[in-house]
Amino acid sequence: MALIVQKYGGTSVGSPERIQTVAEKVARLRGQGHDLVVVVSAMSGETDRLIKLAKALHSEPPARELDVLLATGEQTTIALLTIALEKIGCPARSYTGSQVHIRTDNAYGKARILDIDAARIHADLKQGRVVVVAGFQGADEDGNITTLGRGGSDTTGVALAAALKADECQIYTDVDGIYTTDPRVVPEARRLDKITAEEMLEMASLGSKVLQIRSVEFAGKYKVPLRVLSSFEEGSGTLITYEEND
Ligand code: ADP
Ligand code: ASP
Ligand code: MG
């Protein structure tokens, strides 16, 4: 039995049907006896929609309030996924970032995770529940809601995996792994079975958004077993490796 942290990006939870597919996948894995923590992003397009709404009222929305607003995208998805899980008989609970004490600094819009209290999550797992956590968000020491920057749900997933000492962190997205370059731009790009954390960091720093750069830094620091896979097709995706393991 393993403890697995899975993260599903916006496209993977972009409609009720897709959320249901994710729920079925999660329930199947739990049925095999694994402990599961599932991090979700906002449904695709939702974060942009919320930014547009704020900008319709203020060309430079106050950063604190923008974070309060943007955090609702992920809050919607955790509730929907948990509802879908309960519907198919899989006990689950949803939590916002601040509810599972993802403590960050107070740099609104680009906050850094300082600390996570894993106790609450472990308690739920012990009760046999799947724990569904909102990606991309936390709270500062005064309880103000913060967000982690675009693509920040990747970092939530990796940070939770590090804090929980998970056996694997699986990042489910709309491509079946890491390619030599963006496969949507360069059709000849090749999928890699493995990539070192250093190479991945370089790719992220050159602007590839497949993983948020901070999630790669985090993974390297804590040697989090990390894999990028497709939520739409079977396959073993791409494993991120660390020098010592090679
Ligand atoms: P999610 O919503 O699941 O977080 P993102 O859109 O943030 O997904 O990241 C996945 C996208 O990253 C892919 O659709 C792909 O176009 C892009 N991408 C950029 N560089 C790469 C790469 N080297 N390998 C794979 N995907 C890449
Ligand atoms: N919803 C946020 C974004 O669109 C975070 C994420 O998807 O990782 O950037
Ligand atoms: Mg992303």
Q: Of ligand 1's atoms, which has the minimum distance to the CA of residue 177?
A: 25
Edge-to-edge strands, sheet with 92-95:
92-95, 130-134, 35-40, 3-8, 168-173, 226-230, 238-241, 194-196
Cβ-contact 165, 4 below 8 angstroms: no
Per-residue pLDDT tens over the stretch 17-55:
999 999 999 999 999 999 999 999 999 999 999 999 999
Question: What pLDDT score does 186 carry?
Answer: 94
Question: What pLDDT score does 243 carry?
Answer: 80
Determine the angle formed by the axes of helices 63-87 and 16-31, rounding to 10 degrees: 60
Q: Name the residue with higher pLDDT: 1 or 110.
A: 110
Confidence (pTM): 0.97
Q: Of ligand 2's atoms, which has the minimum distance to the CA of residue 156?
A: 8
Gap from CA of 36 to ligand 1 centroid (Å): 24
Q: Which pair of tokens denotes residue 128?
A: 């046999």
Q: Ligand 2 test: best mutation among 110, 136, 137, 213, most atoms within 8 Å of CB?
A: 136
The Cα–Cα gap between 111 and 67 comes to: 10
Instruction: Look at residue 244 and tell me whether its pLDDT is greater than 80.
Output: no
- CA-based nearest residue to 237, from 168, 196, 155, 179: 179
Gap from CA of 209 to ligand 1 centroid (Å): 5
Q: Of ligand 1's atoms, which has the minimum distance to the CA of residue 154?
A: 4
For residue 39, give the ligand nearest its CA.
Answer: 2
For residue 207, give the ligand nearest its CA.
Answer: 1
Instruction: Look at residue 245 and tell me whether its pLDDT is greater than 60.
Output: no
For residue 70, give the ligand nearest its CA.
Answer: 2
Question: What pLDDT score does 73 carry?
Answer: 98
Pocket of ligand 2 contains residue 225 by CB under 6 Å: no
Pocket of ligand 2 contains residue 151 by CB under 6 Å: yes
Q: Of ligand 2's atoms, which has the minimum distance to the CA of residue 148?
A: 5
Cβ-contact 169, 227 below 8 angstroms: yes
Instruction: Look at residue 246 and tell me whether its pLDDT is greater than 90.
Output: no
Edge-to-edge strands, sheet with 102-104:
113-116, 102-104, 137-139, 145-147
The Cα–Cα gap between 169 and 224 comes to: 7
Per-residue pLDDT tens over the stretch 175-234:
999 999 999 999 999 999 999 999 999 999 898 999 999 999 999 999 999 999 999 999
| Cβ-defined contacts of 14-21 (< 8 Å, 24+) | 14/43, 14/44, 14/45, 15/43, 16/80, 16/84, 18/231, 19/77, 19/80, 19/81, 19/84, 20/84, 21/231
Per-residue pLDDT tens over the stretch 53-90:
999 999 999 999 999 999 999 999 999 999 999 999 99
